[in-house]
Structure 1
């Protein structure tokens, strides 16, 4: 489903004291603002002084990791950062391995297929295949999404190690993104337990109005969690029962990915 970055837990007062840590924080922020961000905004979000942020961003520019747009005075991800991202995607198997499998799912479902992995208290969209119909769901790999109101987020919590799941259920933010977002922690616990029992999770206009989705876990051969695979569709076109009927196709694809994707 279209990813919306959840509110971050960064504390500007806890900005890294070392130069490398500050540079990395700035680079991550630039990467999260694909359309660009100003120096003052980056300094504020990172907790790094403006003069220091300017110096570090200049260094990142020289390395091609960051670009600067003089007209808008905004910093954007550079081509080198894109190249590194592509190389990482190849190493994880997101492109060469996952893409053909996800394309096959989309041909079967005629809807968008999405893949995500757990990243702290959020999930990270790592791959996406657009559906063939004129109106559909769009996603943007490399962006984060919330756990409590997305089908992949629920599945990732449900199949995470016990200690990780317990921690997430205690601390994930229950921000009401959509009209049916879960805002009660006990309800979330029950929903995640249900996903663990069923082996899949659904959402009905929880992340965005007019959007429904279903997701299954991608498990490695040893049963540990790798990620989640989902089908998402406009609510006017797919009832929840329609999406649940696609679970066998998703499970088949997830089983194949669990064997073929490299260990992380």
Structure 2
């Protein structure tokens, strides 16, 4: 759809316009203006603005900080999360996670970025009695978790700089990065390595490793991570499982795209 910019109002059925608008927003992956979307859809100007207004009023879109662009709103993000949790996808996803947890021997998680935190979408617990309880639906910070820092590394430099300018890097442990310059250096390392770690930065006594799950445009859509108590495993030992973690991430990405 997005490869053809010669659509007119007559060629797009009324009941498809909102869906195609949302599809274009998702394809671009950054806040976008009605004018930019309409370069693809080719609807009358009053129509495209009316559609954006409706989606904003109903909570599917929200205005970006510039006041002109729009990004997915709460209802659209929840819709995307619900689609990822449909029974067929979730069944196969659980199979991949179970196999990974069995091989690694520790708890494995899938997390998705929300506006202010990473949210656990799915997890498989370790069989060890000593475990760290972070159930599905738990929100964890961006700046001090493996999954959150993995997400931050996927942001364009301009957006990451904006994040650093407005966020308060609250300390959760003595190991949390609370200086913007130090966190920026850590994020640059993550970009180079392709994976992120949490060395007791979120919780004392917990280490974690995360890798990205990509969408069709090779953008980060979620993260796959494994975490464990330091009483049982070191961060270096956990990092030894990276090849297995990356293989599972590829399987999970292909599952969503198939």
Q: TM-score, normalised by structure 2?
A: 0.64
Summarize the Cα distance change of 1:239–1:203 in structure 2 as closer, same or farther, 3 Å threshold.
Answer: same
Q: Aligned equivalents of 2:216 and 2:88: distance in 1?
A: 16
Stretches of structure 1 lacking an aligned partner (at least 5 in a row): 1-20, 25-83
Of 86, 101, 105 in structure 2, the residue corresponding to residue 106 of structure 1 is 101
- Partner residue in 2 for 1:213: 208
Runs of 5+ unmatched residues, structure 2: 1-55, 60-78
Match of 2:47 in 1: none
User: 1:151 maps to which residue?
Assistant: 146
1:198 aligns with 2:189: no
Q: Is the 8 A contact 1:97 1:261 kept in 2?
A: no
Cα distance, 1:85 vs structure 2: 11
SS of the counterpart of 1:165?
A: helix
**Partners of 1:253 and 1:88 in 2: how far apart?**
20
Q: For 1:184 and 1:94, how far apart are their aligned partners in 2?
A: 40
Q: Does 1:167 align with 2:127?
A: no
The TM-score with structure 1 as length reference comes to 0.63
Provide the C-alpha distance between the structure 2 equivalents of 1:260 and 1:156, rounded to a whole number of angstroms.
Answer: 20
**Number of residue pairs aligned between Structure 1 and Structure 2:** 184
Q: C-alpha separation between the residues in 1 aligned to 2:88 and 2:134?
A: 19
Match of 1:43 in 2: none
Query: 1:113 aligns to what SS in structure 2?
Result: strand
1 CA distance for matches of 2:162 and 2:95?
A: 35
Select the residue among 110, 129, 136 that pairs with 2:131: 136
| Greater relative contact order structure (CA < 8 Å, 6+ sep) | 1
Q: Distance in 2 between matches of 1:94 and 1:149?
A: 29
Alpha-carbon separation, structure 2, partners of 1:93 and 1:147: 29
